[in-house]
Chain A
Amino acid sequence: SQTIHQWPATLVQPVGSPLSLECTVEGTSNPNLYWYRQAAGRGLQLLFYSVGIGQISSEVPQNLSASRPQDRQFILSSKKLLLSDSGFYLCAWSEGVSPHFGNGTRLTVT
């Protein structure tokens, strides 16, 4: 069966520091991969999605970037965090039906 791992679960980082959140999927090949963010009091906003290795689509202009160095690995990064980057980040995968989510990362930028 397929599983998705996302880490870390919580992270506190100072403004201006770099960020790297990692997500890996097991039990499937060539999945679609997604990064979502929930800012305080808001719904899930799609940040990036990927349909294959090296193929990244960005949905909103922002301070973040994503990479897919391997088929089942999706990384969310920032060179310099802003206060507004605080939020709950969710990675998800799908094979064209419902996305399946990781447990999320709570990021607090101080």
Chain B
Amino acid sequence: ILNVEQSPQSLHVQEGDSTNFTCSFPSSNFYALHWYRWETAKSPEALFVMTLNGDEKKKGRISATLNTKEGYSYLYIKGSQPEDSATYLCAFCDVSGTYKYIFGTGTRLKVLA
């Protein structure tokens, strides 16, 4: 059974703070790692798809890094804003060719104004 872990489970930060959270995944048979942003009552929104070891992606104030050898990815948010409040999910896909996406439990971020 593939295990994808995210930490912390939840996080409260003040507006303007920078923050980061972790996604851990199996380091063997890696194909891709996805990050999603999920707001309550909406469908998850894709942020990044990362495939290469050492990948670094950026979208506005949000960026992500990938280490496939040790099996982790970090998501960073610079200068958090209240609208960043959401659950951030990572999803792991292996090379089996079945395109199964296994999600972590998510990190619930609350940015306080």
Contact surface of A with B, Cβ cutoff 8 Å: 32, 34, 36, 42-46, 49, 51, 57, 59, 90, 92, 94, 96-104
Contact = CB atoms under 8 A, between A and B. Distances in A.
A57 B89 contact: no
Nearest to B34: A98
Number of chain B interface residues as a range: 10 to 19
A57 B103 contact: no
B44 A51 contact: no
A65 B89 CA distance: 25
Contact of A46 (B42, B43, B46, B101): B101
A43 B99 contact: no
Nearest to A42: B105
Interface of B: 6, 34, 36, 42-44, 46, 49, 89, 91, 98-106
B103 A43 contact: yes
Given A97-B49, A104-B43, A46 B99 contact: no
A42 B101 CA distance: 16
Contacts of A36: 103
Nearest to A6: B43
A42 B108 CA distance: 11
Sorted from nearest, which 10 A-B pairs have the closest CB atoms? A43-B105, A101-B43, A44-B103, A98-B46, A43-B106, A32-B99, A101-B44, A103-B43, A43-B103, A98-B34
Nearest to B106: A43
Given A51-B98, A57-B100, 4 more contacts: A45-B103, A46-B101, A46-B102, A100-B46
Contacts of B89: 43-44
A36 B105 CA distance: 12
B103 A98 contact: no
Contacts of B101: 34, 46, 92, 94, 99
